[in-house]
């Protein structure tokens, strides 16, 4: 690869769709030249693993490279989850502490309550836990559809990575970015949003196997329960890239006082 300056920021790239997914290749190509890049991503698809970590088995890291316009960048395929990838990368694989972690580009939205299930977001969360600026990027296109076009998402990922490198995120805050499935020229800009309130409904379907034993497939319908302003869903539906700052503190601070009045 074209050697970046010695003090070039190290950018660690990961995802949950696996190292061979088109989204992470598009992301790595889009960030080419912005700093020294390294890819550490799951060897296999890890969608919906949430913030799982591998504690009962060893993990392995297989060295390879990934092509970018200027040449190749070092890459590792890890036999683990996205959170494993980041922990392993920053403790064992990167030559120095990354300046930024970028996870994605996920195929499918990670808006609203989906952040809780998302391996893409968990890789960025692991960065925030370790005090490293981090961003998760998702393309709002559903999996069952035709081939995805990552061009717009890649361009916005680069632009937002540059801004994070320049400004620095607040400690313990990561940025969750969702890009509308539209050509770059049709996207209206970036909106700073909040996570929409939502849920999944009727999420299992009962079936019977050829031996007459019951089994269940997860199905379900996503329900947006939020009619307020400035949500990630509203932004994406309006043609904006949504950027939601997420935090690690899950405490419901607004309810502490009321709970203290219960008869414990």
Q: Which two tokens stand for residue 17?
A: 């769709």
**Closest approach of Cβ 47 to a second copy, in Å?**
7
34 binds a second copy (CB under 8 A): no
**Closest approach of Cβ 186 to a second copy, in Å?**
17
54 CB burial (10 A radius; 0-12, 13-18, 19+): middle
Binder of a second copy out of 50, 67, 149, 165 (CB under 8 A): 50
Binder of a second copy out of 94, 163, 224, 237 (CB under 8 A): 163
Stretch that binds a second copy, among 24-32, 66-74, 98-106, 246-254 (CB under 8 A): 246-254
The rounded distance, in Å, linking the Cα atoms of 177 and 227 is 20
227 binds a second copy (CB under 8 A): no
**Closest approach of Cβ 71 to a second copy, in Å?**
26
The rounded distance, in Å, linking the Cα atoms of 229 and 224 is 13
For 12, how many CA atoms within 13 A lie in the half-sphere containing its CB?
A: 30
Binder of a second copy out of 206, 210, 211, 227 (CB under 8 A): 206
- How many residues make contact with a second copy (CB under 8 A)? 78
**Closest approach of Cβ 28 to a second copy, in Å?**
23
223 binds a second copy (CB under 8 A): no
Stretch that binds a second copy, among 2-10, 95-103, 134-142, 215-223 (CB under 8 A): 215-223
Binder of a second copy out of 20, 58, 134, 150 (CB under 8 A): 58
Q: Which two tokens stand for residue 199?
A: 């849920």
Binder of a second copy out of 4, 9, 22, 52 (CB under 8 A): 52
88 binds a second copy (CB under 8 A): yes
189 binds a second copy (CB under 8 A): yes
DSSP single-letter state for residue 164:
H
The rounded distance, in Å, linking the Cα atoms of 154 and 102 is 11
Binder of a second copy out of 72, 92, 97, 239 (CB under 8 A): 92
Residue whose CB is less far from a second copy, 7 or 202? 202
Cα–Cα–Cα angle for 48, 198, 157, nearest 5°?
60
Question: Measured on CA atoms in the order 177, 181, 185, 191, is the torsion positive or negative?
Answer: negative
Cα–Cα–Cα angle for 195, 156, 175, nearest 5°?
35
The rounded distance, in Å, linking the Cα atoms of 81 and 47 is 9
Residue whose CB is less far from a second copy, 31 or 246? 246
CB atoms within 10 A of CB 158: 18
74 binds a second copy (CB under 8 A): no
């Amino acid at each position: 690869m074209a050697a970046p300056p010695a003090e070039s920021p190290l950018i660690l790239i990961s995802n949950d769709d696996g190292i061979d997914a088109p989204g992470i290749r598009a992301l790595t190509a889009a960030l080419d030249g912005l700093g020294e890049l390294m890819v550490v991503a799951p060897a296999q698809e890890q969608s919906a693993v949430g913030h799982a970590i591998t504690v009962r088995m060893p993990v392995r890291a297989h060295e390879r490279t990934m092509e970018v316009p200027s040449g190749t960048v070092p890459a590792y395929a890890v036999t683990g989850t996205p959170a494993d990838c980041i922990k392993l990368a920053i403790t064992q694989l990167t030559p120095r502490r990354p300046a930024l972690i970028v996870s994605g580009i996920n195929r499918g939205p990670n808006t609203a309550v989906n952040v809780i299930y998302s391996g893409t977001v968990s890789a960025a969360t692991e960065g925030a836990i370790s005090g490293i600026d981090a961003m998760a990027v998702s393309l709002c296109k559903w999996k069952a559809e035709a081939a995805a076009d990552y061009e717009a998402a890649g361009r916005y990922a680069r632009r937002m990575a540059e801004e994070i490198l320049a400004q620095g995120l607040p400690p313990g805050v990561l940025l969750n970015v969702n890009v509308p499935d539209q050509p770059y020229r049709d996207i209206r800009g970036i909106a700073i949003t909040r996570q929409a309130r939502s849920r999944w409904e009727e999420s299992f379907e009962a079936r019977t196997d050829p031996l007459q034993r019951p089994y269940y497939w997860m199905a379900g319908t996503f329900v947006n329960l939020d009619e307020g302003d400035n949500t990630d869903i509203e932004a994406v539906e309006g043609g904006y890239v949504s950027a939601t700052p997420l935090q690690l503190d899950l405490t419901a601070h607004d309810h502490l006082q009321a709970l203290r009045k219960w008869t414990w």
